[in-house]
Amino acid sequence: MNRKLNHIKKALLLSVLSTAAVITLSAQDLHFSQWYNSPLSTNPANTGFIPDADYRLGVNYRNQWSSVMNVPYKTYSVWGDAQVFREKIYSGWMGLGGMILRDVAGSGALTTTKAYASVAYHQMIGVAHLLSVGFNAGITNKRINQHDLRFPDQFDGYFFNHNIPSSVVIDNNHVNYLDMQVGVNYAYFPSKDVYINMGVAAWHLNRPRESFFDADVTGIDNRIAPRYTAFANAILKTSDEWIINPMGYYSHQAGASEYVLGMNAHYNLSGDGELQLIGGLFYRGGDAVIPQVGFQWKFLRMVFSYDATTSGMKNFNQMRGAFEFSLIAPGHYLPNSKEHRQTLCPTF
């Protein structure tokens, strides 16, 4: 009997997750626990905001709910940005970048693809302040395969039976829309050992309509509510061996909010900073503890993190929430250009 109850509980959970993927997940933006390693999806003003390089390329991968879903939710991103016109703008520069995100939610039922182009302007104010403003715009495509979905009215007491007709009727299996964002950043670097920056952004400025259902039938417009984000972080060099990086992130959308607080630290393994060990711990309020570990070799930085669930969901997933991987490769246009430009943040 207990085995049957456990099976029913898991089946109902899968039903809730599948239904949420269709009805409510569309209102939740794709995001990473390592938001600090996905700068263009954190704030458009981060485009070209590269304190220690001229350009950078990055990839991110997130795998979520593999312990409770036969096919886990997977999120991928590929992005890049660069500084331009540094020699043509007095005490300032432009940033250009782009990003592609793809998310596959449970059995391929809901697939999201986003492609954005970003531009930002960065202006030095004196010798220790930097103000940035950025904008991005892109196309979002969401596609669903209704045949792979199971709804509560298809549950026969033991399994979800796709031969049982469902009362849920999806009018369109894909949607496309234009999406626009704007952000502002500020950085303060009073010495070579202290760097502080913070930013705010507004997402979905044009409030695009996103729904697989016909608004004329449902009477619901389904516009995406604006999302507002803020972040702050500091990079502090405490010795020739250690650099610490406390930070925080906050997001609010349609009455829902989340915050992430934590810190990571870089340890200088090689003495010259070319090989660094990275470790850190973060907390997402009411949801997860997120340890991370990684390393940096020259300009190549690789970080792995794990979401250990602390919410009520832990009773179903045994605290196995999600894992993430990020890889970032910054660089300079010329081999010796690093020696001839100001590095804004502390380095070994």
| CA geometry: angle 127, 230, 95, nearest 5 deg | 50
Q: pLDDT tens for residues 31-85?
A: 799 999 999 999 999 999 998 889 999 999 999 876 665 667 899 999 999 999 9
Residues of the chain with pLDDT under 50: 1-27, 340
Tens digit of each residue's pLDDT (9 = 90 or more) over 272-293: 889 999 999 999 998 899 999 9
- Strand pairing category for 110-125 and 288-297: unpaired
What three-state secondary structure class fits 162? coil
Provide the pLDDT for residue 342: 58
Q: Which domains does the chain have, with CATH numbers?
A: 2-340 (2.40.160.40)
Which phi and psi (to 5°) does residue 212 adopt? Answer: -90, 0
pLDDT of residue 317: 66
Residue 231, burial from CB neighbour count under 10 angstroms (0-12, 13-18, 19+)? buried
CA angle 112, 314, 59 (to 5 degrees): 35
What pLDDT sits at residue 221?
78
Side chain identity, residue 105: A
pLDDT at 190: 93
pLDDT at site 316: 66
> Which residues contact residue 79 at a Cβ distance below 8 angstroms, ignoring those fewer than 6 apart?
38, 39, 40, 41, 57, 58, 59, 60, 97, 98, 99, 100
* Stated pTM of the model: 0.84
pLDDT at 341: 57
What mean pLDDT is reported for the chain?
85
